[in-house]
Amino acid sequence: MLPELADLLSTSRVVSLPMTTRFRGITVREAVLFEGPEGWTEFSPFVEYDDTEAAAWLHAAIDFGWRATLPPLRDRIPVNATIPAVEAEQVASILARYPGARTAKVKVAEPGQTLADDVARVHAVRDALGPEGRIRVDANALWNLDEAEHAVHALAPFDLEYVEQPCATVDELAELRRRIRYMGIPVAADESVRKAADPLAVARAGAADVLVVKAQPLGGVHSASRIVAAAGLPAVVSSAIDTSVGIAMGAHLAAALPELEFDCGLGTVAMFVQDVADEPLLPHDGAIPVARPTVSSARLDALGADEDRTAWWLDRVRRCYRLVERSRAL
């Protein structure tokens, strides 16, 4: 059942979390937390997303807070380190925030940077992880087809686990996958799943070897697990720079998947200066537990957003709730 809007708003807390490094163009991450019958849950679509896209994130928050989650098949989730588009000299200090991680996801194709910057960053990660470490790169759909092919060749000497969302369209991904198949480097789809009207189109087109799935954009743990099952491809569960509450949602999704071949992108609480949980879901020995964190009232007070930002987010909750309510009625 859909909770009443008043029930959502009665427990809502808007928080503003400072980040250790600029990532995705931001240095502060804002989120709304609600406390439902199942525990704390999170609504944190990026500020530039319109209400239609953000409504799926609210559906996910309701799903995690008001509905029993899927039975877990594992109690710990191996996670990757996340390396923003930083100078190569900063790589080692960022990796140190992810103790025991054997895998690193490296951001590439940053606007204003060059392929040489990407090569230097990935080279530094390989030096830090050693030959047995796993490296995946994420271009966030910012290369065109030819740029992507050129970049994959330039980065191939560092033994890539896969290249994530190198191009924007399903057709481009399919063609790139055809061009680089002989290199043995898989293509992973992220935006082509979570931002698509049809998240299964990329699988049907044979345009990806791996799906990157995020619980909030896909409408919650139950919805995302159905998409993974229907796609029939290996899945990596990742975060959207969530607080520990949102990370717990992703961890419960990862715990419920029958197969978990790849380390997951759920170690990103390490990117925050402070977190809302008494015991943040930070990686230890390369993994995080499958658990709902205890949220501290004192931390919520300390990290509370100002009055204007709180009003902005709660208005957004009201608008998105109407869209969720309408979709349930169809």
Interval 216-227: pLDDT, tens: 999 999 999 999
**Residue stretches of the annotated binding site for Mg(2+):** 138, 164, 190
In 10 A of CB 182, how many CB atoms?
7
pLDDT of residue 22: 84
CATH superfamily placement of domain 76-289: Enolase-like C-terminal domain (3.20.20.120)
In 10 A of CB 178, how many CB atoms?
12
For residue 133 the two structure tokens come to 């470490």
* Whether 105 is catalytic: no
Each domain of the chain, given as residue ranges in start order, spans 5-70+297-329, 76-289
- Our measurement of the distance from residue 116's CA atom to the centroid of its chain's CA atoms, rounded to an integer in Å, reads 26
Please tell me what DSSP assigns to residue 106: E
Q: Which of 107, 126, 136, 194 is catalytic?
A: 107
**Residue stretches of the annotated binding site:** 138, 164, 190
Walk along the chain (330 residues) and give the pLDDT tens digit of each residue.
799 999 999 999 999 999 998 888 889 999 999 999 999 999 999 999 999 999 999 999 999 999 999 999 999 999 999 999 999 999 999 999 999 999 999 999 999 999 999 999 999 999 999 999 999 999 999 999 999 999 999 999 999 999 999 999 999 999 999 999 999 999 999 999 999 889 999 999 999 999 999 999 999 999 999 999 999 999 999 998 999 999 999 999 999 999 999 999 999 999 999 999 999 999 999 999 999 999 989 999 999 999 999 999 999 999 999 999 998 865
Distance CA 110, CA 60 (A): 29
pLDDT of residue 44: 98
Q: Which of 214, 222, 252, 316 is catalytic?
A: 214
- The highest-level CATH class for domain 5-70+297-329 is alpha beta
- Tell me the C-alpha to C-alpha distance, in Å, between residue 75 and each of 51, 234, 289, 292, 326: 34, 19, 6, 12, 36
* Whether 195 is catalytic: no
pLDDT in tens, 32-73: 999 999 999 999 999 999 999 999 999 999 999 999 999 999
Q: Which residues pair with 25 in a beta bridge?
A: none
